[in-house]
Amino acid sequence: MTSPVKCLVWDLDDTMWDGVILENDTVTPRPEALRALTELDRRGILHAVASRGDHATAATHLRAHGLLDRFAAVCVGWGDKSESVRRIARELNIGVDSLAFIDNDPLERAEVQHALPQVRVYAPEDMAGLPERPEFTPAVTTAESADRAALYRTERARKESEDTFDGTREEFLTWLGLEMRIWRATPEDLARAHELTVRTHQLNSTGLVYGMEELRELIASPDHEILVASLRDRFGDYGTIGLSVSHRRGGDSVLRLLLMSCRVMSRGVGTLFIQHVNARARAAGLRPLAEFVATPVNRVMLVTLRFSGFQVLDAGPEPVVLVAPDEQGPSARHVTLIDDS
């Protein structure tokens, strides 16, 4: 199976447009570039820039053509392209294996591919056909997919506000006015729930990926409970950011899957979500357990479970089984929980 691309990183001169903007102010974006931008946007695939040149000049040119807001990150300078691609991955908080890179210069493509072999690289002649390629064709698109670039732009505004905030990080989180809503999944939530399992790797506790029909069966099963979480703050919606799948086994409620969007990793909401899942299990007279299966990128989820007080009950073979503490730990006081479950 071809892993999906989450962000396409663009070179500008002689790629996004024909010509070099420092030499010619009249260069315009290629029609096939605009078509790729629009179609991939609709599918929820982000765009970023890693290009050589002067940052202010490039940003001004992008803005003049109404394109600056189409990019979730813009890195323009004179360093190695591979370092710009790494920076974009850090800024967007996604793995480099989720990135693709398009550049007219074969040496630049080779430099990125050598330094970051997980990144898929393309030449401008590939541009028109990108939307037909499987790695750019998500299994499902949702209403949130088309808004994904806007969500990242809003996140950039949050980050800029945090950088200038006069106070501690805890005070900033309180100032945000975070509200997390949790509800039992319905068939209307299937598409987004499936999209989360496909897109989320770093914050997936077991690496499970559920198909649409599997989720439909689990929603209807009396032995399973699927919860969905969304988040908002004073800047706006984060959208649907969390999913849990719990399985009733005898006197236990086993958390078989917990995942959170990478966009909320720094908001401290994961522990609150886990506490809510545990509280529902206890209210039903069940012992809360959780499974964890290590993948190359998800160790942070084990840290999250342990931080929530889970202790290892059975260390192997995988899955590792953990048991929740008898007493609930301190809640995330900076988050208001809206319980619709």
Same-domain status, 114 and 208: no
Same-domain status, 222 and 313: yes
pLDDT of residue 207: 83
Same-domain status, 95 and 209: no
Specify if 255 maps to a domain.
Answer: yes
Same-domain status, 183 and 240: yes
Specify if 336 maps to a domain.
Answer: yes
- Looking at 136, 154, 188, which one is the last position of a domain? 136
Count of domains in the chain? 2
Specify if 258 maps to a domain.
Answer: yes
More confident residue, 147 or 61: 61
Residue 161 clears pLDDT 80, i.e. is over it: yes
Specify if 37 maps to a domain.
Answer: yes
pLDDT of residue 202: 64
Same-domain status, 244 and 330: yes
Summarised one tens digit per residue, pLDDT across range 292-305 is 998 887 888 888 88
Specify if 152 maps to a domain.
Answer: no
Q: Which residue has the tokens 């997390």?
A: 180
Summarised one tens digit per residue, pLDDT across range 7-61 is 999 999 999 999 999 887 789 999 999 999 999 998 889 999 999 999 999 999 9
What's the domain range around 245? Answer: 170-340
Specify if 160 maps to a domain.
Answer: no
**Which CATH number covers residue 86?**
3.40.50.1000
pTM: 0.74
Same-domain status, 183 and 266: yes
| Token output for 231 | 């988040």
Specify if 73 maps to a domain.
Answer: yes
Q: Which residue, among 263, 315, 298, has the nearest Cα to 155 in the 3D structure?
A: 263
Residue 75 · residue 84 · CB < 8 Å = yes
Query: Using CA atoms in the order 189, 195, 201, 205, what is the torsion angle rounded to 10 degrees?
Result: 20
Same-domain status, 198 and 296: yes
More confident residue, 141 or 237: 237
Long-range contacts from 79-83, C-beta under 8 angstroms, 24+ separation: 80/111, 80/115, 81/11, 81/50, 81/52, 81/108, 81/111, 81/112, 82/111, 82/112, 82/114, 82/115, 82/116
- Looking at 136, 161, 180, which one is the last position of a domain? 136
Same-domain status, 92 and 184: no
**Which CATH number covers residue 295?**
3.40.630.30
In the chain, the percentage of residues whose pLDDT exceeds 90 is 61
SS3 content of the chain, % helix, strand, coil (to 5): 40, 25, 35
Same-domain status, 98 and 220: no
pLDDT of residue 2: 66
Specify if 257 maps to a domain.
Answer: yes
Summarised one tens digit per residue, pLDDT across range 98-121 is 999 999 999 999 999 999 999 999
